[in-house]
Structure 1
Amino acid sequence: MSEVRLLAEKAGLNKVTPIELSSAGNLIIHLDLYPIVARIATVISKEDADHAYQILDRELRAARHLHSKGIPVLLPSDHIDAGPYDIGGTWATFWKYVPPTQLKPPSPSEAVELVNTLSRGLKDFSDEIPLLGVWERACQSAKRLMKHPDQRIQALLNVFVKVDRQMRFDTSLLIPCHGDAHTRNLLPSTEGWIWADFEDLSLMPVYWDLASFVGNLALYNGVQEPTFRYVLSQINNGTDLEAFGFAITARILMSTLGNLDFALAGNGDLAFACKQLELADDFIHQIDLIIQRNGGVH
C-alpha cells in the first residue's frame, strides 16, 4: 500500500487514500480522491517478472485498441501514465475507477452480442499475441494432475489429451481472443456493460470467447440455460456447431482442471473445484450428444 501511495505522489496525486477492493488473483486498490485503480499483478509477477511486464503492457494496448474501435472496455487511467510500473518487484498498472453500479443482467441476445462485438474488435489487434497462451496454463495443470488417483480426474485427462492434440493440429486457424471472457470480466458501469481483464489475450480456436462466457453458465445450470440455448439457436450449420462444441468442451476442461490444480495446491476453493469436477464429465457428454443430434461429427 505504501509503495502505491508513493508512486501516486510522484505522479502528482496528493492525499491519496489506498482502499483495497480485491485481493483474489490481482491486488486491486482504489486510489481514493481520484478515479484511479491500481491493479497489481502479484501472482504472475511472482512467477516471471519479465513475462508479467509483457502481459500488462499488452493488456493496456489491447484496451486502448478496443476503445478506438468503439468496444466498451475498462480504460487505462488518463490522470497519470498507466504504466506498467515496478513496485518492489511486482508490476502494476493504473486504470479508471468504475464505481459500484447496478445493472439489469444482459439478456441472452445482449450477452452474445457483447461477446461477438468484443471478438470483432480483437480481430485486427496487431500486437504479438501468445499462441494458445491461456491453454498452455491448462496443460501445466493437466501435467500436475496426471498421477492423481481420482478416476474422474483421469477420465477428464483422457479427453484433455485428445482435445489438446486437436487444438494444435492447425494453429493457422486460431484467432485473437480475450481468453477469459466469462461473466465476472464483464463489469457494470454507468455507461453500460464493459469488458475488463485482458491479461489472458491469446490466439485460440473460433468461438473460444463465446464458450468462455456461456461455459460455466451451462455447466451449473444445465444445457437448457437460456444464453447457452440462444447460442445454439444462432448456429445454423454443422461445421460451426462442431467448432462451438469443441471450444466449449476445451473451455470446461481448462476451467475444471485448472481450478482443481489450483485448489489442491492450497490456493483456491476446493469445494467449488470439486463441484466442477462432479459436473464436467456429464456436461461434456451432453455437448457431444447435442452436436451429433444436430448434424455435427464430434
Structure 2
Amino acid sequence: MTSTTDFPSPFGDLLSMACEHAGLDATGARLIKLTNNAVFSLARDPYVIRIAASDLVGAQARKAVSFAQWLAANDVPTIVPMDGLDQPFDVEGHQVTIWQLVPSNDGRPTVRALAEILRTLHSSPGEAPDLPAWDEIGSIRRKLSAQDVLSTEHLVFLTDQVDELATLLHDVDYVLPTGPIHGDAHTGSLIAGTDGTVLCDFDTAANGPREWDLMPIAVNTARFAELTDEQDQLADEYGFDVRDWDHYDTMRRIRELQVLVAPLPILSFDAGVRTEWNLRYESIRAGNATAVWTPWNRVDLAARSNRDA
C-alpha cells in the first residue's frame, strides 16, 4: 500500500498533516497531479486534496473555493469543496483545499463537454464575486519574479517576450462579451463523472475576455501531434472559432508562455518536466509555432501520474 513517504518531498508529509487537520485518512492516497498543485485522491475517504506548490499558487486557493460555490449557484457543473471545513487552510506554509470526490465513469472528458460547460459559464449573468480582473501578463511576470531555477539568459528572453506581448495586448479588440472565465480551460480541467462531466482547477479564474477560455484547446491542437480535430469540435459546439479572430496569434503566444511558466516551482526536482520545458522554451525562442510538444501527462515523470495536458 502506498505510503506518504513515497511522494516527492515535501508533499507526502504535507498530505499527512492536511489529513490530520481535516480528520481524514491519508493511507493509500494516490498522487494524480503535480504542477502548480500537488493533487491527491484519498483511498479511504471520498475526497481530493490540493496542496499549493508555491506561495503564488496558494494565494489563489480562497478564490478557487469561492468561485466553485458561485458556479454551483449558477448551475455550472463543478467540483464542490468539503463541507464543514474552513478553507483554504495552512500547512507548513502551503495552502490546502479539500474537495468532494467526483466518482469517475472511467471515460476521458470530451472537448464537446468542455464547450457545453463553457457556453453555460459564459452565459451566466454578471460578474462572479471575489474574482480579479484577468491579468495573465501580470501572472506570468509574478511567476518569473518568484522563480529561482532559470538562467539569466532564459529569464531575460522570457521577460522580453512578456514586455512585447503586453504592448500587443493593448491593441487587442475582443469580439465576445467579458465576464467570468475559467482561465485554463482544457479537458484536463474536467472530470468525467458518473453523473456528468464537471469543471475543476480554478486557480486561474477571473473576470475577463471569453476568447481566453477558447485558447487552450486551439493551442493544444496546434502543438500536440495526437490531437487532430479537437479545435474543430470545440468551435462547432461553442459556436465560435478563435483561430479566425484577428488577435489569435497574440493570445496564442500568451497562452504558450502561461503553460511554460506553470511548472517552474517543480522544475528543479523533476527531470522529465525539465526536459520537456527545455524543448518548449527552444521552440518559442526560435519562433517555431508548429514544433510538436508532448503533453505533461505523457512526460515520464518520477513517482507520479499526471492526467493534465
Report if TM-score (shorter chain) is over 0.5: yes
Quote the residue 2:298 is aligned against: none
Task: Indicate whether 1:126 and 2:145 are aligned.
Answer: no
Partner of 1:113: 116
- Compared with structure 1, are the counterparts of its residues 174 and 69 closer, same or farther at alpha carbon in structure 2 (3 Å cutoff)? closer
Alignment of 1:12-161 (within 5 A): 16-22=25-31, 24-25=34-35, 26-41=37-52, 43-44=53-54, 47=55, 52=58, 55-78=60-83, 80-81=84-85, 83-106=87-110, 108-121=111-124, 124-132=127-135, 134-140=136-142, 147-148=152-153, 154=157, 160-161=162-163
Deviation of 1:215 after TM superposition, in Å, equals 1.6
- Aligned equivalent of 2:245, options 241, 248, 252: 241
Residues 158-237 of structure 1 aligned to structure 2 (within 5 Å): 160-168=162-170, 175-221=179-225, 225-230=228-233, 234-235=239-240
Letter in 2 for 1:8: A
Measure, in 1, the Cα distance between the counterparts of 2:88 and 2:235: 40
Identity %: 20
Is 1:282 matched with 2:288? yes
Aligned pair in 2 of structure 1 residues 231, 98: CA closer, same or farther (>3 Å)? Answer: closer
C-alpha deviation, 1:214, in angstroms: 3.1
User: What TM-score do the two structures reach when normalised by structure 2?
Assistant: 0.68
**Cα pair distance change 1:200/1:232, threshold 3 Å:** closer
The structure with more radius of gyration: 1
Structure 2 CA distance, aligned partners of 1:210 and 1:8?
Answer: 36
Match of residue 21 from structure 2: 7
**Structure 1 portions without partners, runs of 5+:** 286-298
Judge which range, 24-33 or 179-188, deviates more.
24-33
Q: Indicate the structure with greater helix content.
A: 1
Distance 1:157 1:71 in 2: 37
User: Do 2:221 and 2:228's aligned partners in 1 also have CA atoms closer than 8 Å?
Assistant: yes
Distance 1:254 1:241 in 2: 20
Aligned equivalent of 2:12: none
The aligned residue for residue 295 of structure 1 is none
Using CA pairs below 8 Å that are at least 6 residues apart, which structure has the higher relative contact order?
A: 2
Task: Supply the AA of the counterpart residue of 1:117.
Answer: T
Between the aligned partners of 2:159 and 2:114, the Cα distance in structure 1 is: 31
TM-score of the pair, normalised by structure 1: 0.70
CA distance in 1, matches of 2:116, 2:71: 15
> How many residues of Structure 1 are paired with residues of Structure 2 in the alignment?
265
C-alpha distance in 2 between matches for 1:71 and 1:279: 37
Query: Conserved in 1, the CA contact under 8 Å of 2:127 and 2:207?
Result: no
> Per-residue deviation at 1:92?
1.6
Segment of structure 1 superposing worse, 162-171 or 203-212: 162-171
C-alpha RMSD of the superposition: 3.9
Change (3 A) 1:277 1:86: closer
